[in-house]
Amino acid sequence: MTVIVDYGVGNLFSLRSSFAAIGTDVSFTKDPKIVETADKIILPGVGAFCDASQKLRETGMQEAVLNAAAKGTPLLGVCLGMQLLFDRSFENGEYEGLGLIKGDVIGLKDIIPQGLKIPQIGWNALSFTKDCPLFNRINEGDCVYFVHSYAAVGVEDALAATTEYGAIVTAAVQKDNIFGCQFHPEKSGEVGLNILKAFCEDI
């Protein structure tokens, strides 16, 4: 069973609807034990890094996600859920992430030229930087929907896709069984549904 980690962050309505639309049975769980024994794990998240990482620890989900990741369970972080996968975030301070993928999360303002709007809101195209099974069912250049003010840097060989917003911005990452999307696949039309489908069926 694929489980969506419910640790009290964000609205899960759209994710629920997306999985229903691709015909995948998912369960939402607040129980870390269920996360540890899941076949696949989705880590969602919106809002501030600090709040989310705190909630993840308090609910016992951090340990469960790390244990599952260590034994090879495929894990997909979405938006803030992806940012949590990295070593550190510098959103309003400095906070530790899960350390599953090398890299830091920093403000877009320190990545892109001045004058561009922050957050990046809207549809932007994906460039693939490696052969990642998440993209089995989509094409390079397909657009996905972004809403973010922070982005990952120093990702090195885990970088799976980028997008261009005045500079090259990390859009997706993968290291072994750990996957992450900065954009919102649940809001990215058919392309987004095909990414979720690839995670559920091809990985």
Partner 1 sequence: MITKRIIPCLDVKDGRVVKGINFKGLNDVASPVELAEYYSSCGADELVFYDITASSDGRKLFTDILTETARRVFIPLTVGGGINSVDDFDRVLKCGADKVSVNSGAIKDPSLVEKAAKLYGSQCVVLSADIKRVDGEFRIFAKGGREDTGLEAISWIKRCVDLGAGEIVVNSIDTDGVKKGFDLEMLKQVCDVVNVPVIASGGAGAIEDFITLFNSVPGVDAGLAASIFHFGEVQIKDLKLEMKKAGIPSRL
Six-digit token string for 146: 């972004």
Whichever of 158 and 165 has its CB closer to partner 1, that residue is 165
* Active site (annotated) includes residue 132: no
Closest CA to 169 of 177, 178, 179, 181: 181
Whichever of 67 and 124 has its CB closer to partner 1, that residue is 124
Shortest reach from residue 58's CB to partner 1, in Å: 20
> Are 173 and 155 within 8 A, CB to CB?
yes
Whichever of 27 and 127 has its CB closer to partner 1, that residue is 127
Shortest reach from residue 177's CB to partner 1, in Å: 26
Residues that bind partner 1 (CB under 8 A): 11, 13-14, 17-18, 20-21, 46-47, 117-125, 143, 145-147, 164-165, 186-190, 192-193
Kindly give the interhelix angle for 49-58 and 61-70, rounded to the nearest 10 degrees: 80
Task: Return the C-alpha torsion angle 146, 150, 156, 160, nearest 10.
Answer: -10
Among the listed residues 132, 148, 184, 200, the single catalytic one is 184
Among the listed residues 36, 91, 132, 186, the single catalytic one is 186
**Strand 168-175 relative to strand 159-164: parallel, antiparallel, unpaired?**
antiparallel
Shortest reach from residue 83's CB to partner 1, in Å: 14
Among the listed residues 79, 132, 181, 200, the single catalytic one is 79
- First-last CA distance in the chain: 13
* Active site (annotated) includes residue 148: no
Whole-angstrom distance, CA of residue 14 vs CA of residue 159 = 26
Shortest reach from residue 60's CB to partner 1, in Å: 26
Strand partners, 4: 28, 42
* Active site (annotated) includes residue 63: no
Q: Which residues are catalytic?
A: 79, 184, 186
